[in-house]
Amino acid sequence: TNKISKSEMSIKLKIYYNTILGALGGLFAWFILGNLGYFDHFLLRDFVSGIFIGFFIGGLIGSVDGIFDKSLYKIKKGIIYGGCYGIAGGVLGLFIGELTLWIFKGGILGRAFGWMFLGLLIGISEGIAIKAPKKVSYGAIGGSIGGFMGGAIFEIFRTTFGSYIISQAIGLVILGACIGSLIALVEDILRKAWVTVLTGRQEGREF
């Protein structure tokens, strides 16, 4: 019973870390973008925004496995690979998102579906980075749902309070938190088999 409780705690901690680090990634991205100023051309704006959003959210979520293994090497590797693939996902996702927003002519659904593609492409970056096909599928599902929720909430706050800066901050934090938590949650729900370490340095760690 004690081993089972530790296993359940490990799952909860994974979701917790993914949520917190994803949210911090969104917050860091918002902070950097806010200090860079406004870009007149929307393509340049989306390119720069995609770089920072993808890098921070993808990189910090990518570091979670290293944190669980208490390995500085894996943490650095997770940040680098997750961040680099996150950049690609962030840039491409924002471009597709802007196109989707234009097709829907704005609104909550337009923003939600636009950010859904952003979340999808950032979500799959972790799986691609570690060459794990299952992680790609988990990231695709979790990232899509997280992006949709983050985009919808962003647009609701933007139209309610009329402040783009505050809405962007809240939206990016929720985007990162949703992507991180839902990737871990979907992985836990859909996995078919796993191994739990019962004793030793990585006791409670699951693979």
What are the pLDDT digits (tens) for 167-190? 778 888 888 998 888 888 887 777
Instruction: Give the whole-angstrom CA distance, residue 94 versus residue 92.
Output: 6
Instruction: Give the whole-angstrom CA distance, residue 65 versus residue 155.
Output: 32
Q: Is the pLDDT of residue 120 over 60?
A: yes
**Confidence (pTM):** 0.82
Instruction: Give the whole-angstrom CA distance, residue 147 versus residue 94.
Output: 11
Query: With contact defined as beta carbons under 8 Å apart, do 23 and 63 qualify?
Result: no
Instruction: Tell me the pLDDT tens digit for each residue of 57-99.
Output: 989 988 888 888 788 988 898 899 888 888 888 888 888 888 8
Query: With contact defined as beta carbons under 8 Å apart, do 188 and 15 qualify?
Result: yes
Which one-letter DSSP state was computed for residue 40? S
Query: With contact defined as beta carbons under 8 Å apart, do 194 and 206 qualify?
Result: yes
